[in-house]
Amino acid sequence: MIRSLSFFIVVLLGGAFAQNKPLVLNDPEKAIADRIKTLRQVPDEKRGAVNKELAALISQMPPSPNKLMLANSLANLSTEGDFGHDSLQAVGIALADALSEQAATAKQGMPEDPYVELATLIRYEHVELPANNPALHSMLLNAAMARLQAEDRQRQKADFILTDMAGHQWTLKQLRGKVVLVNFWATWCPPCRKEMPDLDVLYRRFRSQGLLILAISDEDAAKVKPFLTERPVSYPILLDPGGKVNKEFAIDGIPKSFVYDREGKLVATAIDMRTHGQFLEMLTLAGLK
């Protein structure tokens, strides 16, 4: 998941959590950081094993703010596709353990971001932590879980009127009777670009059964049009100038996708890039097979 001001970038370029202090990595930490920065270069079939290996290396580190930063950075990239649930489990536990260790020694307020990252893994990726893990009993984790629940309620009520690249206007609440997949993306986002061919294949397959994919970008048409000339897709591309709809959907990182069934109920959420198979599982929840 890419954020416009990604915590991942802040971690690796400097700036320590709430204290805003320069980040200094020792040699083993730097080696892990370098591997995290190049994760997208790892072939997908090997990515799960690498995620687990990095999670193990981070777990073996002594407690420190750097350990927490690296665990959070890894978690931020671990959801970009389907690398196996065991991989997500390892990453989630490494993050939870780092949070618990740091909370026990923190002299100042703990940062919210890694708690939100952990809550996201638990809520949307079904990561399970041992019942005795201290992170599960943190007020900040509970607050992060409540925030995610509130955002989902907001997305259930959300509506928009946006215009696509062909000048056609779309209103979400007027699409009852169709299965609607709302996808937030941008031309500059590598995971967004990676999942677009799979979305296009699924749109062509299920269009006759009532599937509608609405892909929303908050970029200018001048940026989106040449991109689509090089990478055309058959589903509508909507423009959200000013990012009003992005804000209504609480989008803090892309890509993100939401599937609404024919009654307009939000039935599936993707917090990051998804593969063809993962998107198919989401659409099955809305009744498409």
The pLDDT tens digits of the residues spanning 210-239 come to: 999 999 999 999 999 999 999 999 999 999
The pLDDT assigned to 109 comes to: 63
Tell me 167's DSSP state: S
Which stretch of DSSP H or E encloses residue 279? helix 276-285
pLDDT digits (tens, 9 = 90+) for 76-101: 999 999 999 999 999 999 999 999 99
Q: CB burial class (10 A; 0-12, 13-18, 19+) of residue 11?
A: buried
CA 99 to mean position of chain CA atoms: 20
| Domain 160-285 belongs in CATH node 3.40.30.10 | yes
Tell me 147's DSSP state: H
pTM of the model: 0.90
Please tell me the distance from the alpha carbon of residue 18 to that of residue 112, in angstroms, as a whole number.
9
- Output the CA torsion sign for 156, 157, 158, 161: positive
Does 25 or 15 have the greater pLDDT score? Answer: 25
Please tell me the distance from the alpha carbon of residue 164 to that of residue 177, in angstroms, as a whole number.
20
